[in-house]
Every structure is written in C-alpha cells, then in structure tokens.
C-alpha cells in the first residue's frame, strides 16, 4: 500500500539538522542585537532592539527544545557541521555603524529568514512535525510585525541622521551582492557556506566592539544625570507633581538598565546555560518597556523630546568593570530600590494619577522577577568562574562605581542639571495651565 502524497519529504535527521542550524543562527542574532543596542543612538531603533531580540529569543528557546526532542536522548546541541556558516553569519555584527546594522536586519536578514521559514513550512509535514510548524508560524508572525515596525523606525532614522545613509547603503549592497551568496542555502543539510567569500571591510564594515558608554538621540535634552537626585541622592524624590515628573524622567532614563542587560547578554550569553539568554532577553525587554513608560507619560503630558532630560551615567558607571560586576550593578539597583515601586503605585493612585500608578504597578511586578534573575545568575557566573564573591558583595562594588562617576561631575554639569530641573518643572506647570 503506497500513499500518493508528499508528506514524507523531511525525515527526522534532516529536520533536526536544519532546525539546529536555525537555532544557532537566531541565537547568534540575539547576541548581535544585544551587542549593538547600547551604541545605537536613534530613539526608535534603540527602543526596538530589546523588544525584538526578546521575540527572537522566544523562537530560539522553542527551536532548542524541538531539536532536543528530535534528537532524544541526546542532550547536547553541537555546532558541527555549521561552524563556517555561523562564522559567515557573524559578519553581520561588523556593520560600519548602528543604522547599517538595523537596516541589515530589516532589509536583508529578516526577509531571508522569512523566505527560509516559509519554504521549510512548505516542505514540512503538519501532521508528523506539527510542533515545528507551530514554532515557525509564530516566528513568521513576529517577523512580519517586525518588518513593519523597522520600516517606520528606519524612515525616521534616515531623516534624523542623514549622514549615515551612504555608509548604510554601501553595507546593504555588500550583504545583498556577496554575503547572501557566501552563506549559501540554509535549507541544504550539507552547508556550503564560506566565510572567506565576504569581506566586511570591502563594504565599509569594521571589527565590532560593544559601546561601554550609552549613546543618546540628539533630539533629547542631553545631560549626564537625568535628575538632581541621580547626582545627589540627598536632593530627594519630592512629592506631588515634582514626584510625578521625577518618576517619569527616571522611567525614561531606565534605558540604561536595558543597555546593561543587553551588555550582559553580549558579554556572558555565548558561554552560559541556554536559560540565561531567555531570562536576560526578558530582562532587557522589560527595562525598555519601563523606559517607554516614562517617555509615553511625558509625551502624553505635552513634553517634546527636546524637553525630556536623558542621561547615561548609570550605564556608563560599568564601563571599566568586568562583565560579572556589570551584572552585579543592575542587580544592585533592582534589589535596592524595589520597595519604592509599590509605595509610589499607591501614592500616585491616591494622588489621582492612575496612569503613573498603573505603570508603577507593572514595573513593580517586573522588578521582583529581575531580583530573582540577578541573584540566580550572579551565583551561577561566580561559581562557574571560581569567583569567591557573593551577590551581596556587589552592593559595595556597585555603589563604588556609581560614586566614582558622580565624582567626575563638573561644576558646569551641576549647574546645567539644576537648570534642567527648574525648566522641566516650569514646563510642567505651563502644561497644567494649558
């Protein structure tokens, strides 16, 4: 008896080999997006990178689980025989500047993945390989949404930073003309990729180094310290409208925490247990949502970007620290100030500001998860590296990093900070009158 249909196209070994390849390529893409996030200045692009790398990591997590199922009882996923393919894929990170990298995601990489996933689904058996079909359908839904959001962000980036267009176009030309051919057919179990066929330098690329200073969009009111209590804790948070504005400004300035989480992904993710990337990607995404909370409230109240104070000192404080200490810094801030979230949620609610109360409530829920992430993964990396420190030790080390950068504040910066505070509060009073 012979069934006359094309269901039996991909057998388990073929599917496992191809899905394993998808897993490694997307995992590498998560690391690269995290690496570029702190050095990206354009606002919309900076906001998108943490969210979309988190979405990609959901697919990475699901693919890894599926590969383990298909290869059971094997529990290790080795890179062989795709070492050359991943090396060629990794050239993406050598973009000449951030706009070139994000446009490569939107105009080359994600369209390629969309095509490859769609072709795989055409060949896959929805009956026998149903779990994979679901994973890739969800991934395709994510990609379609991502492409639309990237288009809007990129159009704005080209208006704000036109000086980057020429080098971006040159990089895209190289990827389309040479890089795509170098990586070969991603659906061929016998990979023919050759990393030597693509030279990033020929198209303006350069060796990548993650930015240890947070880059900021020039349209904001740029200051090193976003609010007076960021430089001098004795200034206090204030109350009433001042606390409303202060909390919104602090929320938008939580972009530093998304940057620090991204740096931890890039610095530590490749050599960690698979679950670290899942937790850290979520952490990074949560922090950029908190940043959006502040930006959205300030925008809704009537503030223009040029009137929103935006600094970078908290991320910059980890510039000279080791990777584990940077993880310790973000853990210290999460665990030290978590109690203020619930208090302000209640305060803003009583004060009549339901939106600020709502944002603080969800912020509080996120931070409790992050405190667990920080404690768990600090212990993991300390034990893994044989470091005798304990998570509690990072309180003093984090405070030392923050005090060190506060000590570099000049008199001019202190004056500008107070002027920014006074003008921001004056603007808030104007908006109330309006």
At 434 the pLDDT is 66
CB 60 within 8 A of CB 32: no
* pTM score: 0.96
Residue with tokens 């109240």: 301
Q: Does one domain contain both 187 and 243? A: no
Residue 216 located in a structural domain:
no
Q: Does one domain contain both 46 and 122? A: yes
CB 218 within 8 A of CB 41: yes
Q: Does one domain contain both 180 and 260? A: no
Q: How many CB atoms lie within 10 A of CB 236?
A: 12
Residue 31 located in a structural domain:
yes
At 3 the pLDDT is 62
CA distance 171 to 105: 12
At 221 the pLDDT is 98
Q: Does one domain contain both 167 and 250? A: no
Q: Does one domain contain both 268 and 326? A: yes
Q: Does one domain contain both 185 and 242? A: no
Q: Does one domain contain both 429 and 326? A: yes
CA distance 360 to 368: 12
Residue 6 located in a structural domain:
no
- Under DSSP, the state recorded for 221 is E
Residue 165 located in a structural domain:
yes
Cis preceding-peptide flag for 310 (omega within 30 of 0) = no
CB 359 within 8 A of CB 251: yes
Q: Does one domain contain both 261 and 381? A: yes
CA distance 283 to 49: 13
Residue 1 located in a structural domain:
no
Burial class from Cβ neighbours inside 10 Å (0-12, 13-18, 19+) for residue 72 reads: exposed
Residue 137 located in a structural domain:
yes
Q: What is the CATH number of the domain that holds 24?
A: 1.20.1260
CA distance 295 to 257: 15
Tokens for 79?
Answer: 């890179």
CA distance 74 to 394: 38
Q: Residue 382: give the domain boundaries.
A: 221-433
Looking at the structure of the chain, the number of domains it has is 2
Tokens for 303?
Answer: 């503030």
CA distance 192 to 184: 6
How distant, in Å, are the alpha carbons of 5, 50, 96, 413 from that of 108?
34, 19, 16, 42
Q: Give the pairing type, strands 221-222 and 309-310.
A: parallel
Q: Does one domain contain both 185 and 255? A: no
CA distance 120 to 136: 9
CA distance 104 to 152: 15
Sign of CA dihedral 85, 279, 396, 250: positive
Q: Does one domain contain both 135 and 259? A: no
Picking from 203, 236, 260, the residue at the C-terminal end of a domain is 203
**pLDDT tens per residue across all 434 residues of the chain:** 666 666 667 888 889 999 999 999 999 999 999 999 999 999 999 999 999 999 999 999 999 999 999 987 777 899 999 999 999 999 999 999 999 999 999 999 999 999 999 999 999 989 999 999 999 999 999 999 999 999 999 999 999 999 999 999 999 999 999 999 999 999 987 888 998 999 999 999 999 999 999 999 999 999 999 999 999 999 999 999 999 999 999 999 999 999 999 999 999 999 999 999 999 999 999 999 999 999 999 999 999 999 999 999 999 999 999 999 999 999 988 887 788 889 999 999 998 999 999 999 999 999 999 999 999 999 999 999 999 988 888 888 888 998 999 999 999 999 999 999 999 999 999 998 86
Residue 427 located in a structural domain:
yes
CA distance 9 to 123: 6
Angle at 188 between CA 185 and CA 193, to 5 degrees: 50
* Separation of CA 65 from chain center: 23
Picking from 203, 234, 257, the residue at the C-terminal end of a domain is 203
How distant, in Å, are the alpha carbons of 45, 59, 143, 147, 282 from that of 140?
21, 10, 5, 10, 20
Q: Does one domain contain both 264 and 376? A: yes
Residue 2 located in a structural domain:
no
What value does the CA radius of gyration of the chain take, rounded to a whole number of Å? 23
At 190 the pLDDT is 82
Q: Which residues are bridge partners to 222 per DSSP?
A: 310
At 4 the pLDDT is 60
Q: Does one domain contain both 313 and 424? A: yes
């Amino acid at each position: 008896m012979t069934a006359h249909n094309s269901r039996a196209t991909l057998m388990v070994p073929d599917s496992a080999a191809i899905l394993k390849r998808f897993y490694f390529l997307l995992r590498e893409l998560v690391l690269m997006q995290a690496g570029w996030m702190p050095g990206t200045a354009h606002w919309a692009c900076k906001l998108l990178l943490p969210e979309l790398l988190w979405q990609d990591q959901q697919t990475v997590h699901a693919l890894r689980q599926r590969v383990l199922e298909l290869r059971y009882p094997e529990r290790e996923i080795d890179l062989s025989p795709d070492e050359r393919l991943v090396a060629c894929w990794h050239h993406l990170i050598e973009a000449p500047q951030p706009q070139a990298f994000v446009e490569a995601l939107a105009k080359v990489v994600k369209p390629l993945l969309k095509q490859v996933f769609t072709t795989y689904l055409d060949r896959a058996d929805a009956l026998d390989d149903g779990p994979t079909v679901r994973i890739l359908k969800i991934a395709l839904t994510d990609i379609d949404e991502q492409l639309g959001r990237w288009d809007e962000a990129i159009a704005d980036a080209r208006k704000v930073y036109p000086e980057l267009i020429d080098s971006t176009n040159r990089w895209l030309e190289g990827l389309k003309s040479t890089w795509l051919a170098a990586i070969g057919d991603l659906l061929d179990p016998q990979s023919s990729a050759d990393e030597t066929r693509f030279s990033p330098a020929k198209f303006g690329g350069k060796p990548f180094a993650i930015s240890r200073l947070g880059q900021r969009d020039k349209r904001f009111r740029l200051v090193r310290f976003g609010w007076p209590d960021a430089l001098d804790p004795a200034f206090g948070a204030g109350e009433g409208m001042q606390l409303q504005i202060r909390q919104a400004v602090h929320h938008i300035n939580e972009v530093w925490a998304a940057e620090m989480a991204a740096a931890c992904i890039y610095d530590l993710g490749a050599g960690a247990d698979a679950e670290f990337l899942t937790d850290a990607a979520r952490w990074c995404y949560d922090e950029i949502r908190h940043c959006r909370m502040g930006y959205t409230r300030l925008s809704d109240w009537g503030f223009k970007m040029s009137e929103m104070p935006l600094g970078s000192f908290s991320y910059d404080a980890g510039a000279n620290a080791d990777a584990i200490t940077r993880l310790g810094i973000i853990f210290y801030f999460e665990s030290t100030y978590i109690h203020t979230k619930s208090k302000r949620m209640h305060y803003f609610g009583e004060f009549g500001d339901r939106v600020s109360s709502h944002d603080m409530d969800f912020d509080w829920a996120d931070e409790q998860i992050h405190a667990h992430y920080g404690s768990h993964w600090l212990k993991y990396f300390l034990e893994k590296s044989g470091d005798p420190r304990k998570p509690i030790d990072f309180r003093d080390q984090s405070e030392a990093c923050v005090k060190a950068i506060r000590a570099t504040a000049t008199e001019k910066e202190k004056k500008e900070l107070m002027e920014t505070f006074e003008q921001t509060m004056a603007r808030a009073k104007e908006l109330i009158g309006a």
